[in-house]
């Protein structure tokens, strides 16, 4: 391996790629060549750094200087100042939202966003070049596989995972070691080990980042798992919407084959293992394991009743084990460092760490990994940096369309499987969407039901028809046509669907409605009884009014498509609420902030 005096790490995750990080890399390489530094400084495209808000992100090592929102035209300055003359480019260095401190003198781990994080699954993301197997190997890659194959029996591998207390990171939290035990116990000629990378929860992108940032870690874990349960073939079912992840997985599989880390007689043992990729085609329900297997088999992705469980009869009728991407991201570390080390992180019932995708109304949007049992407040306020624009925090939604909303009064809750479930939310795959006072909770419930109705596969009646009835009621309420008794109707429907739907999608679909009713019943009541949306979000329930701040400039009257605004020049104008169609054009036009929503 060649040695360089400096490394320029450019984030190649989805967020930063979308804001042009590929062009940055090109420019860096051109500039370095021009200055004759290309033998001294290496440019590396890494996986996600996590702090998407600051993207595109560039880190220069050995100093660990963190440059944020870098533009192509900034590259020349970084090269000529920092890399050539050794002077950090002060005005491009990341500034903490909360403390307004520049991170010029700080290393990465001292920045507020990173300080309270602990990276296990994401340990290599943003550190190595994901398309280079040598870099993965240099960071202990494939050592766990070697250890498992040459020093441990399959039973010992399973015992280690069982002892670690690792639970499924896809949402349900089933103990991973138990799953492996069941699959091991099934006797069959062929068994399959499947990686569920059909990350469908809106607002969740941890699996995507892990696949893009450290694909070999997933391959290694699958091989270890295959050895443990006695499988000879692995499948990765990944969303077609993730082209970068697919490309890197394909490349990683090819490289692992070249090095003999996949294929026949791995490490000279009897164990042979191969991995195939299958692309999804846009169906949320395929994240459910039986639906996912049907989809790999090339059929409609419809779930089927369990039992038989996949461990007994799964893919192509053979015993199958299915694990989520992030779950697998922990395996190699558990084998290398042992169950006791893993258990030392987190709390006894939820061990290890969890990756969350922070999004919505929060300053530091991005990917965070924290020990289980951390307070929700720590994630929102310290790591997330609070709510932008001085707005008030209202709720955080976890678990996507299967989860629930947690209100401000419960911000001190411990983030672990059981605590989140106890308040009607759930861990889910790790999406964490923050909402402020402008978000209407009835509308959020409607949004999720709209999603479920669209994604319901239609096989069972409670989900196909029940969720549609719930959506109709919610639409009525948000349009100001809610009736007395609607809340109770929603609750009855919800309970019935939960207890009778065929798969997890239907059984959890009512959760967003139930949890918003539980914590924000007053908002539902305001919509139904007073025909008022407290968050001023639901268009049909809004009234626009012109205040005394009006200067009579006539701009709003000219912009109104239905001529509902009248008044003479330099006099306060008035909106005719009967004519008004509530399009909001006037409010957007007014330069004096004289139009308000009521």
Terminal alpha carbon distance of the chain: 66
98-106, 109-117, 132-140, 441-449 -> range binding other proteins (CB under 8 A): 441-449
The least distance separating other proteins from the CB of residue 433, rounded to whole angstroms, comes to: 5
In sign, the C-alpha dihedral spanning 250, 252, 253, 257 is positive
Round to whole Å and give the CA distance between 65 and 6. 11
- Between residues 170 and 359, which has the closer beta carbon with respect to other proteins? 359
Rule CB under 8 A: choose which of 170, 173, 213, 301 binds other proteins.
301
The least distance separating other proteins from the CB of residue 54, rounded to whole angstroms, comes to: 9
Rule CB under 8 A: choose which of 8, 9, 10, 14 binds other proteins.
14
Q: Which of 269, 257, 181 is nearest to 219 (CA)?
A: 257
> Do 97 and 383 meet the contact criterion of CB atoms below 8 Å apart?
no
> Do 366 and 141 meet the contact criterion of CB atoms below 8 Å apart?
no
Round to whole Å and give the CA distance between 232 and 477. 54
| 360 touches other proteins by CB under 8 A | yes
Rule CB under 8 A: choose which of 258, 297, 418, 530 binds other proteins.
297
- Between residues 294 and 517, which has the closer beta carbon with respect to other proteins? 294
Rule CB under 8 A: choose which of 158, 197, 335, 357 binds other proteins.
357
Round to whole Å and give the CA distance between 379 and 383. 5
Q: Collapse the DSSP code of 29 into the 3-class scheme (helix H, G, I; strand E, B; otherwise coil) and give the result.
A: helix
Which residues ranging from 77 to 136 are in contact with other proteins (CB under 8 A)? Answer: none
- Between residues 182 and 447, which has the closer beta carbon with respect to other proteins? 447
Task: Give the pair of three-digit tokens for residue 281.
Answer: 């085609």
> DSSP class of residue 95?
B
| 208 touches other proteins by CB under 8 A | yes
The least distance separating other proteins from the CB of residue 49, rounded to whole angstroms, comes to: 11
Calculate ∠ Cα 470-471-473, nearest 5°: 65
| 137 touches other proteins by CB under 8 A | no
- Between residues 331 and 453, which has the closer beta carbon with respect to other proteins? 453
The least distance separating other proteins from the CB of residue 468, rounded to whole angstroms, comes to: 18
Which residues ranging from 222 to 251 are in contact with other proteins (CB under 8 A)? Answer: 240-242
52-60, 135-143, 220-228, 544-552 -> range binding other proteins (CB under 8 A): 52-60
16-24, 102-110, 120-128, 348-356 -> range binding other proteins (CB under 8 A): 16-24
- Between residues 319 and 400, which has the closer beta carbon with respect to other proteins? 400
Q: Which of 459, 471, 479 is nearest to 401 (CA)?
A: 471
In 484-590, which residue ranges form alpha helices assigned H by DSSP? 486-500, 504-508, 511-529, 555-559, 585-589
Any idea which residue has 């194959």 for tokens? 149
Q: Classify residue 436 as left (phi > 0), alpha (psi -120 to 50) or beta.
A: beta
Total residues binding other proteins (CB under 8 A): 52
Rule CB under 8 A: choose which of 121, 221, 231, 283 binds other proteins.
283
| 447 touches other proteins by CB under 8 A | yes
The least distance separating other proteins from the CB of residue 275, rounded to whole angstroms, comes to: 15
- Between residues 138 and 281, which has the closer beta carbon with respect to other proteins? 281
Task: Give the pair of three-digit tokens for residue 584.
Answer: 């909001």
Rule CB under 8 A: choose which of 88, 178, 300, 559 binds other proteins.
300
| 59 touches other proteins by CB under 8 A | no
Which residues ranging from 460 to 489 are in contact with other proteins (CB under 8 A)? Answer: none
Task: Give the pair of three-digit tokens for residue 560.
Answer: 């109104």
Q: List the x/- string, 147-186, binding to other proteins by CB under 8 A.
A: ----------------------------------------
> Do 49 and 122 meet the contact criterion of CB atoms below 8 Å apart?
no
The least distance separating other proteins from the CB of residue 492, rounded to whole angstroms, comes to: 26
Any idea which residue has 């994401």 for tokens? 122
Round to whole Å and give the CA distance between 164 and 175. 10
Rule CB under 8 A: choose which of 316, 489, 563, 571 binds other proteins.
316
Contacts of 98-102 with CB under 8 Å at 24 or more apart are 98/363, 98/385, 98/386
139-147, 353-361, 546-554, 568-576 -> range binding other proteins (CB under 8 A): 353-361
- Between residues 173 and 287, which has the closer beta carbon with respect to other proteins? 287
The least distance separating other proteins from the CB of residue 5, rounded to whole angstroms, comes to: 31
Q: How many CB atoms lie within 10 A of CB 143?
A: 14
| 279 touches other proteins by CB under 8 A | yes
| Helix or strand holding residue 204 (H, E) | none
Round to whole Å and give the CA distance between 501 and 496. 8
| 194 touches other proteins by CB under 8 A | no
2-10, 14-22, 112-120, 496-504 -> range binding other proteins (CB under 8 A): 14-22
Which residues ranging from 361 to 400 are in contact with other proteins (CB under 8 A)? Answer: 361, 365-366, 397, 400
Round to whole Å and give the CA distance between 470 and 493. 7
Q: Which of 285, 199, 198, 200 is nearest to 502 (CA)?
A: 285
| Helix or strand holding residue 248 (H, E) | helix 243-258
Residues in the chain: 598
Rule CB under 8 A: choose which of 12, 55, 303, 352 binds other proteins.
55
For 227, how many CA atoms within 13 A lie in the half-sphere containing its CB? 34
Task: Give the pair of three-digit tokens for residue 115.
Answer: 């300080």
Which residues ranging from 406 to 435 are in contact with other proteins (CB under 8 A)? Answer: 431, 433-435
| 202 touches other proteins by CB under 8 A | yes
Contact residues: other proteins, CB under 8 A: 14-15, 17-19, 52-53, 55, 199-205, 208, 240-242, 278-284, 295-302, 316, 357, 359-361, 365-366, 397, 400, 431, 433-435, 439, 444, 447-448, 457
């Amino acid at each position: 391996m060649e040695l360089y005096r400096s490394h320029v790490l450019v984030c190649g995750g989805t967020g930063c790629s979308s804001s042009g990080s590929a062009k940055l890399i090109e420019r860096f390489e051109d500039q370095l060549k021009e200055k004759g530094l290309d033998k001294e400084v290496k440019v590396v495209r890494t996986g996600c750094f996590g702090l998407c808000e600051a993207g595109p992100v560039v880190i220069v090592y050995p100093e660990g200087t963190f440059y944020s929102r870098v533009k192509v035209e900034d590259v020349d300055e970084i090269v000529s100042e920092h890399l050539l003359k050794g002077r950090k480019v002060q005005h491009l260095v990341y500034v903490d939202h909360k403390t307004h401190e520049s991170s010029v003198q700080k290393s990465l781990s001292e920045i507020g966003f990173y300080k309270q994080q602990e990276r296990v699954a994401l340990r290599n993301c943003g550190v190595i070049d994901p398309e280079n197997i040598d870099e993965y190997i240099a960071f202990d890659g494939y050592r766990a596989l070697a250890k498992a194959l040459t020093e441990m029996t399959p039973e010992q591998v399973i015992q280690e995972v069982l002892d670690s207390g690792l639970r499924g990171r896809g949402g349900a939290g089933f103990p991973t070691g138990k799953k492996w035990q069941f699959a091991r116990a099934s006797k069959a000629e062929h068994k399959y080990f499947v990686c569920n990378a059909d990350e469908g929860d809106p607002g969740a992108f941890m699996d995507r980042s892990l696949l893009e940032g450290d694909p070999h870690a997933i391959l290694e874990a699958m091989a270890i798992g295959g050895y443990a349960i006695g499988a000879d073939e692995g499948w990765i079912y990944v969303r077609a919407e993730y082209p970068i992840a697919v490309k890197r997985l394909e490349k990683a599989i090819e490289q692992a084959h070249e090095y003999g880390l996949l294929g026949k007689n791995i490490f000279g043992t009897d164990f042979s293992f191969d991995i195939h990729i299958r692309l999804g085609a846009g169906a949320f329900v395929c994240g459910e394991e039986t639906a996912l297997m049907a989809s790999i088999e090339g059929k409609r992705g419809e779930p089927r009743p369990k039992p038989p469980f996949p461990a007994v009869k799964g893919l192509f009728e053979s015993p199958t084990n299915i694990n989520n991407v992030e779950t697998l991201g922990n395996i190699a570390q558990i084998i290398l460092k042992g169950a006791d080390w893993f258990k030392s992180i987190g709390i006894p019932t939820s061990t290890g760490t969890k990756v969350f995708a922070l999004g919505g109304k929060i300053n530091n949007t991005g990917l965070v990994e924290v020990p289980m049992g951390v307070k929700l407040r720590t994630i929102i306020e310290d790591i997330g940096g609070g709510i932008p624009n001085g707005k008030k925090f209202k709720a955080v939604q976890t678990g996507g369309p299967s989860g629930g909303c947690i209100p401000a009064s419960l911000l001190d809750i411990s983030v672990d499987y059981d605590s989140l479930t106890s308040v009607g939310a759930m861990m889910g795959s790790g999406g964490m969407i923050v909402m402020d006072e402008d978000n209407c909770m009835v509308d959020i419930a409607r949004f999720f039901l709209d999603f479920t109705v669209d994604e319901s596969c239609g096989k069972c009646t409670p989900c196909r028809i029940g969720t549609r009835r719930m959506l109709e009621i919610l639409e009525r309420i948000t349009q100001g046509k809610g009736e007395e008794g609607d809340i109770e109707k929603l609750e009855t429907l919800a309970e019935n669907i939960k207890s009778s739907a065929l798969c997890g999608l239907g059984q959890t679909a009512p959760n967003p409605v139930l949890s918003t009713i539980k914590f924000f019943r007053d908002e539902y009541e305001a919509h139904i009884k007073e025909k008022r949306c407290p968050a001023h979000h639901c268009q049909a329930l809004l009234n626009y009014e012109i205040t005394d701040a009006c200067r009579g400039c006539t701009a709003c009257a000219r912009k109104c498509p239905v001529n509902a605004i009248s008044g003479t020049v330099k006099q306060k104008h008035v909106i005719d609420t009967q004519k008004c169609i509530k399009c909001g054009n006037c409010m957007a036009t007014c330069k004096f902030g004289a139009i308000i929503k009521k």
